[in-house]
Amino acid sequence: MSRLPQSYEGVAVCCPVTVPYVRFSPESAHWWAGAALQALAAHTGLRPAGIDGFCFASFSAVPDTVVGMVQHLGLCPRWMDHIPTGGASGVMALRRAARAVQAGDAELVVCLAADTNHVDSFRQTLAGFSRFSQDAMYPYGFGGPNATFALMTDHFMRAYGVGRESFAKICMAQRANALSNPHALMKRPLSFDEYMSSRAICDPVHLLDCVMPCAGAEAFIVTTPEKAEAMGLKAVSIKATIERHNAFASDPIQTRGGWAQDVDRLWAAARCEPEDMDMIQFYDDYPVIVAMQMEDLGFCRKGEVAAFIERHDFTIAGTLPLNTNGGQLSAGQAGAAGGFQNITEALRQLLHCPLGAQIPQARRALVSGFGLVNYDRGVCTGAVVLEGPVSHE
């Protein structure tokens, strides 16, 4: 193992904001980004001049990047970044912002993801998604990400003897968690029979394995502990992070993500173990990816995830709370904001200001990112261990 990265001392993460999702919105990504800033301002009294760092993620802001967004929303940062990695964008934004603050390049960074969802957005996003998918994936039946993940799921289930029952347990637990979240798009409980009998979309992926695309925005602040305190904001600290792209490129089909390459460094730097986590907020575009992360992030060995899922209760009151806002599977996938929502949810649980039910005595969280199925697999992965303030009770 090469040298461990420097600690994240002197970095405070605070003020999680979620702009409630809607299934379809006629508004633009810019409108949703503005709504997230407005919500941050309502909590903090921040004005544009108070934001000297800005990190932005979106699919639907095109043709604009962070540059267009900064001018559109009247910001004047001395540090900015654009993160085009979808489901990995939250962890990546957090890492970059943390180092900028630590180095003094910025004092208060707003990390923000916003995406709209027009009636025809999904088809249009797919049609021009990436060069490899346009040349070599989507013309094959045009099933979109459902088809890509169906091939991965098919292979994963055969290779490791995982049945749909395992995925059912993940989806049902997340739905149970979503029921206390007033913003979640899915409002009804999910039964085992309902999951198992949902219609096939791309075998073996069924309707209830798929997220519902929607519009929404997520944001949080990365700053110094001193600044957070001066603003009266409770803050969470970063214990360790990892990031990896295009790992295991010669695996014929993805059965592991980049986490597996860096997981030892993550836990070594965090000075704790998977068992010390009070919650896991995993990127969950499809349940197979949740299962894969349980293995790759060290909760069980490769090939043993079915038994691991069997052993645990993933509800908020359970042995290993998972995606406590319902995750994307039950709360909705607001484009790139889907890569931020598990960070804001972890922050809320650690700061004890949840949208729905609170995990009792929640102190540590593992949050992951998984993004950009450029062709046949997710290319970008990341993870972060967060620790909340000492006393809440």
Q: What does the binding site for another protein look like in residue numbers (CB under 8 A)?
A: 122-123, 126-128, 131-132, 134-144, 146-147, 150-152, 154-155, 158, 199-205, 249-250, 252-253, 375-376
Strands 215-223 and 108-115, how do they pair? antiparallel
Nearer residue to another protein within complex by CB, 209 or 387? 209
Nearer to another protein, 4 or 62 (CB): 62
Angstrom distance (rounded) from CA 87 to CA 367 = 12
Residue 104 in 3-state DSSP? Answer: coil
- Whichever of 202 and 384 has its CB closer to another protein, that residue is 202
Cβ partners under 8 Å of residue 370, min gap 6: 87, 88, 257, 283, 285, 289, 293, 378, 380, 381
Phi and psi (nearest 5°) for 289? -70, -35
Q: Specify the residue, 63 or 252, whose C-beta has the smaller distance to another protein.
A: 252
Q: Residue 144 or 378: which CB sits closer to another protein?
A: 144
| Choice between 207 and 230, CB closer to another protein | 207
Residues 6+ apart with CB under 8 A from 44: 15, 221, 231, 233
The CB-of-147 to another protein minimum distance in angstroms stands at: 5
Closest CB 249 distance from another protein, rounded Å: 8
d(CA 94, CA 88): 10
User: Nearest distance from residue 197's CB to another protein, in Å?
Assistant: 15
Please state the closest distance from residue 238 (CB atom) to another protein, in A: 33
Tell me whether residue 1 or residue 249 sits nearer to another protein (CB atom).
Answer: 249
- Shortest distance in whole angstroms from residue 198 CB to another protein: 12
Q: Give me 190's structure tokens.
A: 């999910």
Residue closer to another protein, measured from CB, 124 or 191: 124
Nearest approach in angstroms of CB 161 to another protein is 15
| Least Cβ distance, residue 151 to another protein (angstroms) | 5
Smallest gap from Cβ 152 to another protein, in A, equals 8
Straight-line distance from the first to the last Cα atom of the chain, in angstroms, rounded to the nearest whole number:
39
For tokens 């267009």, what's the residue?
68
Nearest-approach distance from CB 127 to another protein, in angstroms: 6
Convert 240-267 to b/e letters by CB count within 10 Å (16 or more is b): bbbbbbebeeeeeebbbbbbbebbebbb
- Cβ neighbours for 154, distance < 8 A, ≥ 6 positions apart: 203, 204
Q: Which is nearer to another protein, 204 or 321 (CB)?
A: 204
Question: How many residues are given for the chain?
Answer: 393
In sequence order, the 6+-apart residues with CB closer than 8 A to the CB of 390 are: none
Run of H or E residues at 155: helix 145-160
Determine contact, residues 66/82, Cβ cutoff 8 Å.
Answer: yes
